[in-house]
């Protein structure tokens, strides 16, 4: 399969992974809209919200809560937007959830290595 997210899940492409388990992998977006912009993807390929099973979807949301707390604690975010695209607005046809931090004060986008070092889970 030529899916870039599947390649990331199989570790064929490097990523700044902040959480991983048997079902999902979560990592920093390489083109962040804000500092700490994170993706959560299932390791198994699902195209979109209609393709993914309920158990995996629930698990993704449980992990999203953990990552929200992590971003609040490590980056002092003021809010967080969850975005999940489908159809023509979905750039990569592999289910994924964006977690986009919001800051009350305008933030300069810093290198993801700097953000990764602040938030990576031990």
Catalytically active residues are: 96
SS3 5: helix
Q: CA–CA separation, 15 vs 51, rounded Å?
A: 25
DSSP summary character for residue 89? G
Q: 38 forms bridges with which residues in the sheet? A: 28, 99
SS3 17: strand
């Amino acid at each position: 399969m030529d899916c870039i997210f599947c390649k990331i899940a199989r570790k064929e492409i490097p990523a700044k992974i902040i959480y991983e388990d048997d079902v999902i992998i979560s990592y920093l977006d390489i083109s962040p809209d804000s500092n700490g912009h994170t993706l959560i993807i299932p390791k198994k390929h699902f195209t979109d919200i209609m393709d993914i099973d309920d158990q995996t979807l629930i698990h993704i949301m449980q992990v999203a809560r953990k990552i929200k707390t992590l971003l609040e604690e490590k980056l002092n975010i003021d809010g967080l937007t969850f975005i999940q695209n489908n159809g023509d607005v979905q750039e990569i046809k592999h289910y994924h959830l964006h977690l986009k931090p919001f800051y009350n004060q305008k933030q300069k986008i810093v290198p993801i290595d700097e953000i990764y070092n602040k938030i990576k889970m031990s």
